Amino acid sequence: MIIAERKPMEEIRREIAPYKKILVAGCGTCVTVCWAGGEKEVGILASQLRLAGSSEGKEVVTLEATVERQCEKEMLAELRDKVEGVDAVLSLACGAGVQTMAGFFEDKPVFPAVNTTFIGMPEKEGLWVEMCGACGDCYLDRTGGVCPVVRCAKGLLNGPCGGTRKGGKCEINPDEDCAWVVIYRRLEKQGRLDLMREYCAPKNARAVKRPGRIHAAKA
Amino acid sequence: MKAESRSVLVIGAGISGISSALELASAGFGVHLLERDAVIGGHAASFPCKATNICAECSACVVSDKLREAVQHPRIRLLTGSTLKEFRGEPGDFRVRIAQEPRYVDGERCIACGLCTDICPTDPKAICLPQADAVPLIHVLDEKLCLRSKGKECELCRDICPTKAIEFNRKRREEELSVGAVVVATGFEVFDAKKKGSLGYGRYPGVLTGLDLEHLLRREGVLRFPGGDKEPARIAFIQCVGSRDEGHPYCSHVCCKYAMKLAALIRHRSPDTLVTIFYIDLQTAGKGFARFFDEYKSDIRFVRGVPVEIMQAASGELEVKFEDISQGRVRRDTFDLVVLSVGISPRTDSWDLARILGLDMADDGFFDTAPSIGSNDTSVSGIFLAGTCQGPKDIPDSVAHGAAAASRVMELLGVPVQAGG
Amino acid sequence: MEARIGVLICDCGQGMQNIDFGALARQAADLPGVTSVNLSSDLCLDEGTKKMVSLIKDENLDRVVIAACSPDMKEHIFRDMLEKAGLNGNLLSMANIREQCSWAHDGEVTDKAADLLRMAIGRVRLLRPVEHREFPVSTEVLVVGGGFSAISTALRLSGVGLRTTVLESEPVLGEGAGEKEDLHGLDRGSMIAAAERDGNIDILTCARIASVEGAPGDFTVTMRTDGTETARKFGAIVLATGFRTELTPGPDALIDARELCSAGVVSQEQLLGMLSNLGLEARPAIVGFLLDLADENSRFTTLATLNNALAVKSRWGSEVYVFCKDVKVDSEGTERLYRETRECGVVFLKCDSAPEVTVDNGKVRVEARDVFLGDDAAITCDLLVAEELPFPVQETEVLGSMFGVRLDSGGFYQDENVHLYPVDSERKGVFFVGGCRGNWDIVRVLTDVSSVVTSVCGLLCPGSIQVDVEKVRVDPQKCVACLTCIRVCPHSAIQLVRVDSGRDAAVISDLACDACGVCAAICPAKAIEFEGYRDDEILAQIEAVG
Amino acid sequence: MMMDGIIVAFCCERSGYPAADLAGRLRLHYPENLRVIRVPCAGRVDVIHIMKAFEMGASAVVVLGCEEGACHHMTGNTRARERVRYCDTMLREVGIEKRTAVMVNISPNAPHKFVTAAVETSKILEDLREAR
């Protein structure tokens, strides 16, 4: 799942400063789940913007809407009427959603209200951790299902850096587990420790040719 | 099964009696809840919340919840101002005679509007709400304060009452009930600190009991120096007043904890206050207390040993004489306020009830338990004990003991198990 | 259709003289949807409620606002009245113009009262009916554990006619830790035998819980025995898994475990064995006890120490020293026992700091500063009975998270929250008894057992539970299955369920829900509605202010 | 503004609400500008409720929940505390300095604490108003 977090208020206000009537648009999928851009967050942001406006003596009119997925043109169609009536759109979707919106309503400025940060999972209520760097060159078969590219602070592919702390904690962030300790334990459990001896060639940094484009062969 | 065996008499509507009554009622029994006072709750309902920035687990709020639940329960019939007069029969089929003192204010009609109190010419007011959160929420007429008891013809309150709830010539009435079992939950008396004359209670205004302090905090919300506006700067708590001595061969269970909780609360509100606790053995065990004790123990000065004498100096300061064990000599320390941590004593009128019910008394003055499962059974089959009438308990233990007594009633009378899904 | 709101204002028999009720009534009458305004003085009395019932019927009202005293005391009466008039009890909103307006302020407060009335009217327009329904419950009870508290709970539940299953992870009952203490004359062997004979009690040994689902009256527990899994229904679950103990020869003991035995350091349990078996010639001349030095929660060892010190004194005639910080006498009968122990010659040495325990010539030596002597006391013991501390059993954490219940700061069951005491958990229908919730003295354990019997009876014996239907409800169309509500629900009332549309959505169990609204406030998709406290109902009140 | 000077108090029906009732019964007077909204638990109070109250012009929002460690729903009051803090931060983010959101933990039998909360919140507002 894509994880995002709200941009600093100052930045958001700078984005929309020239406009009076704004559509605050949420997305009902990833950013809802990570508490960054669902219907609830749309309501809160809109409310905060109205408050900001009133405290400056400037009237800000907000419309609110949340679609199931902003990264689907078809799902944006329902917003047409609302978008036509505003000066700008503030999107709480991930980068893909913002761009789809911007492309779909080309004559309206569309601004991001969140920073799309990583692909991750919820560790517990309200805490998300990065799991995947979308590098296009998956190593997980060799590492017991633990990605060292993002879960090792240094992105090392061939074992730990040597700075692992007592209790298997990371040298850089003592609150985090050292990814390579996790990998070792996992492989040990599975009797596949021999994999630790296998050399991993340097990562292919261009595994995904930008811009990425995947064509499903099946259809 | 006979209808009477589906109903239970609970004597005493303090926290353990209410706990019993609620449990029995929710299991389908009809409950007659007998209370001598005009309102329910007993001692437990008179304590203040002792939370600092965290809950002190004093359970005062639990009591409020349960009281409200009890008066709203359709299967609990509240008999306030009532006492037990006669008792006969056998388990499953007891006959009891109840006497209800005349209640000049009809509890069913009083809407607690307060007009009667406003108009009452006496000072202090003869008719008033006994407590702001009295349950039931009704005004009560104190005969002794009322002008009518002095032969005067005052009818102001009756005339102003918008719901015609007040009636002066009500008579004491009696009624006979048939019940299957009896739960005795008559509670305790607070030890009378005047009996320890050398501690100066009742003579020195700066000497209070723990209960006085609790009531003061509940009433005023803040701690003020008795009789003045100044906040006391040095406070001593003296433990085991009326516990663990010749007349009281038991620990009262509650005093160490309430003293420490009050001390923590005082320090929380006025961090410059110095608090000393004189003690024999600190009772710090029990769920939830260890956490609290760890948080506040460094805020309190603990002195092992219980002072035997308090003198008031000309300045009004209180001089506490105690044996400094570590130095092996008698020392004196001065305080602005001394709180006597009075213990739980058996009710002196327990004997009357014991005679009516045929119960045995233990030699410490509490009701005696029969050797059985737990400590709810008495020597009379069908009569069970709940709460502090059986021995000292704190609020959570009293609630538990009340619920435990209910289980014994259920086992005696049987609970029909309805086939479920 | 336009709402037909009836506004009933009660002046509490002129108990609120700083409100102009005529003006208040006129203001209310002008508000949209208000079809009738009525002024009275005795709304909560019999005659008042009767008048109201006929008014609701006559005026064909479909919702009611009452401006009177606090709903805290009287709301239930008024709800009943609505039901009597054929309206759903939830279609009532109250304006507290007495306690929170007239009585709280000096001077004229008609404007504020009008404000409160507008707020209530704003809310009442949006209220929807909430149905009640009876759910039949299973009357079978699962008791987890096989020690004293578990067996006595099972026996007592069976005694009131509830079928009970005892689930023990060990091969036999009664083998848990802490099972050797004095049980006030209760014989464990005969209790186990009674349980085994009892036709109402099923005993499963070597059994573990694999999963728990459902709500009070309707739990589904999957149990694993001998590698096979079976799922069964229970109405209530009692956790009585007991505790384990560990010997602590003082917090700063300078001896290691291997030395303990040879130096004569024993546990209370070993001492009991010696007391019943030891020949005369081996009687130790000096016996020491450590007590209340390692932990505040020493009620458990206090009783054992007092009883055993007394036994040592009377049977062996040894010199007995008890090293302790305080004697925890706040359990029934303990002060008496403490007196008796001292009177027969047992010496209590009170020390504020932990004594030093060393091994000297194969014997254990305890050195402490006695606060009464004001001096150091050093005693070489032939036998030292070390302090034992209670700890949670191993599976506590795993079972705790499986059941969705929080542990206390010592790692035992039951969060330190006064509203749960004595035996409740935050998950309705799940209870704790005895050692596993941190009660280790037998009197309190027995009270726990009785309390839990009461609670289970109250829950299950009626055969059904009355609940509000969908008072708090997830809209499956809006739910994005983010699991947030499931993670935050304090009462484990929410589950992910495959709904009609074939998608997964959160579903709230009416039986388990305690109507707090924590889920509704946190749902990022705004998919949860709490009737009576929906967002629009709350916002309508805010909008009506001013 | 419609609600200028108004304090909106979200009161948990287990604690803040009965405490307010008691204050009334004891005739402990507090500022008239307080409007109580009853909620089943402080944990029901959502960020948007607080924000809307400010939007409508409320000068302060107070959430009254049970004492910490004594919430009937375990975490309702601590969640409320975090939400209140978040709302207060959001006000500051948009440069609103003269209004405030406050969390108060209270027990149902603490009428004096309720009055103190009302009085102190008013005082905070006064101080904020005079600050510039």
Q: State the smallest CA–CA distance between residue D99 and chain A in angstroms.
A: 11
Kindly state the DSSP code that residue B367 receives in the 8-state scheme: B
Q: Which chains touch C (3 or more CB pairs under 8 A)?
A: A, B, D
What gap in Å lies between CA B207 and CA B342, rounded to an integer? 12
CB contact under 8 A, D55 and A44: no
Q: Which CATH architecture has domain B191-344?
A: 3-Layer(bba) Sandwich (3.50)
* Within-domain flag for D96: yes
Q: If you average pLDDT over residues C224-231, what whole number do you get? A: 91
Residue A38 lies in a domain: yes
Q: Is the dihedral of CA C288, C294, C296, C300 positive or negative?
A: negative
Q: Per the CB < 8 Å rule, is D20 touching C538?
A: no
Residue at D30 is within a domain = yes
Residues B284-332 have pLDDT tens digits of 998 888 888 988 999 999 998 889 899 999 888 999 999 877 677 888 9
Per the CB < 8 Å rule, is B410 touching C457?
yes
pLDDT digits (tens, 9 = 90+) for B209-223: 999 999 999 988 887
Averaged pLDDT, C390-398: 92
- For the segment B321-347, the average pLDDT, to the nearest whole number, is 89
Q: Is residue A124 part of a domain?
A: no
Beta strands A127-132 and A114-124 are: antiparallel
Q: B96 CA to chain D: closest CA distance, Å? A: 36
Domain presence at residue A219: no
Question: Looking at residue A207, what is its pLDDT?
Answer: 86
Instruction: Note whether residue A217 is domain-resident.
Output: no
The CATH number of C141-242+393-464 is 3.50.50.60
Give yes or no: residues A164 and A194 share one domain: yes
Please give the Cα distance from C269 to C273 (Å, whole number).
Answer: 6
Instruction: Say which CATH number the domain at D91 has.
Output: 3.40.50.960
Cα–Cα distance for residue pair D105/D118, rounded to 1 Å: 13
- C392 vs B374, more confident: C392
Residues of A with CB under 8 A from a CB of C: 28-29, 32-33, 35, 38-41, 43, 66, 122, 124-125
Q: Cβ of A54 under 8 Å from any chain D Cβ?
A: yes
Q: Which of D25, D68, D109 sits opposite B64 (nearest CB)?
A: D109
Q: Does B41 touch chain D (CB under 8 A)?
A: no
Kindly report the average pLDDT of chain C as a whole number.
91
SS3 B225: coil
- Does a structural domain hold residue A125? no
Q: Say if CB B361 and CB B354 are below 8 A apart.
A: yes
pLDDT for residue B8: 97
Domain that holds residue D13: 7-131
* CB-side neighbour CA atoms (13 Å) of A156: 18
Residue C185 has a pLDDT of: 57
CA gyration radius, chain B: 23
For residues A48 and A110, state if they share a domain.
yes
Q: What is the pLDDT of residues B109-148, one digit of tens each?
A: 999 999 999 999 999 999 999 988 899 999 999 989 999 9
Q: Looking at beta carbons, which residues of chain D come within 8 Å of C116?
A: 35
Number of domains chain A is built from: 2
Give percent above pLDDT 90 in chain C. Answer: 72
Average pLDDT over residues B38-45: 94
**CA of A113 to nearest chain C CA: how many angstroms apart?**
16
Enter the CATH code of domain C470-530.
Answer: 3.30.70.20
Lowest mean pLDDT among B309-318, C174-183, C431-440: C174-183
The reply to whether A13 and A60 lie within a common domain is yes
Band (pLDDT 50/70/90 cuts) for residue D52 is: very high
| Predicted pLDDT of residue D1 | 43
- Scanning D24-83 for CB atoms below 8 A from A yields 46-48, 51-52, 54-55
Strands (E), D7-49: 7-12, 34-39
- Site from D15, D22, D25 to mutate, B interface, most B CB atoms within 10 angstroms: D25
Q: Would the CB atoms of D94 and A43 count as touching at under 8 Å?
A: no
pLDDT in tens, C411-423: 999 999 999 999 9
Rounded to whole angstroms, the Cα distance separating A56 from A133 reads 41
CATH topology of domain C245-388: FAD/NAD(P)-binding domain (3.50.50)
Length of chain A: 219
Put simply, the answer to whether A40 touches C483 (Cβ < 8 Å) is no
For B54, nearest residue in chain D (alpha carbons)? D68
Which residues on chain B are in Cβ contact (under 8 Å) with C296? 284-285, 289-290, 293
D71: in domain: yes
Q: C526 — alpha (psi -120 to 50), left (phi > 0) or beta?
A: left
Task: Give the total number of structural domains in chain D.
Answer: 1
- What are the residue boundaries of the structural domains of chain C, listed by start? 5-130, 141-242+393-464, 245-388, 470-530
Mean pLDDT value of segment C31-53: 93
CATH of the domain spanning C5-130, picked from 3.40.1350, 3.40.50, 3.20.20, 1.10.3470: 3.40.50
Q: Do domains C245-388 and C470-530 have the same CATH topology?
A: no
Asked if pLDDT for residue C204 goes beyond 80, the answer is: yes
Helix D111-131 with D16-25: angle, nearest 10 deg: 100
Tally the C-alpha atoms within 13 A of residue D14's C-alpha that lie toward its C-beta. Answer: 26
Question: Coil, strand or helix: which one is C442?
Answer: helix
With an 8 Å Cβ cutoff, are C15 and B111 in contact?
Answer: yes
- Sheet containing strand C430-432, edge to edge, reads C201-204, C164-167, C141-144, C236-239, C430-432
Answer yes or no: do A89 and A9 share one domain: yes
Q: Contact, C9 vs C31, CB < 8 A?
A: no
Mean pLDDT of chain B: 92
Expressed as residue numbers, the domain containing A39 is: 2-117
Confidence of residue B415 (pLDDT cuts 50, 70, 90): confident
- Does C545 contact D32 at a Cβ distance shorter than 8 Å? no
Is the domain of A110 the same as that of A185?
Answer: no
- Asked whether this chain's domains B3-101+172-187+347-413 and B191-344 adopt the same fold, the reply is yes
Give the three-class secondary structure for B280. Answer: coil
User: Cβ of D75 and C520 within 8 Å?
Assistant: no
Is B222 within 8 Å of chain D by CB?
yes
Query: Is the per-residue pLDDT at A149 higher than 50?
Result: yes
* CATH class for the region spanning B3-101+172-187+347-413: alpha beta
Q: Is residue A159 part of a domain?
A: yes
A27 C-beta neighbours (distance < 10 Å), count: 33
Q: How many CB pairs under 8 A join B and C?
A: 222
* Candidates C106, C421, C516, C531, partner chain D, best to mutate (most D CBs within 10 A): C516
DSSP-H helix ranges across B11-59 = 15-26
pLDDT in tens, B7-21: 999 999 999 999 999
CB–CB contact D39 C533 (8 Å): yes
CB contact under 8 A, B403 and C422: yes
Cis status, amide bond into D40, omega within 30 of 0: no
Burial group, residue C517, by CB count within 10 angstroms (0-12, 13-18, 19+): buried
Digit-coded pLDDT (tens) for A84-137: 999 999 999 999 999 999 999 999 999 999 999 999 999 999 999 999 999 999
- SS3 state of residue C514: coil
Distance from CA of A40 to the nearest CA of C (A): 5
Stated length of chain B: 421
pLDDT bracket for residue C200 (50, 70, 90): very high
Q: Minimal CA–CA distance to D95: which of A44, A57, A91?
A: A57
pLDDT at C186: 66
Among C474, C482, C519, the residue to mutate for chain A (most A Cβ within 10 A): C482
Q: Which of the other chains make 3 or more beta carbon contacts under 8 angstroms with chain B?
A: C, D
Q: Do chains A and B touch (3 or more CB pairs under 8 A)?
A: no
Helices within A56-199 (DSSP H only): 73-76, 80-84, 95-104, 148-151, 179-190
What residue type is assigned to position A27 of the chain?
A: C
Domain-ending residue, one of A88, A117, A146: A117
CB contact at 8 A, A13 and A58? no
Residues of A in contact with D90 (CB under 8 A): 9, 44, 48, 51
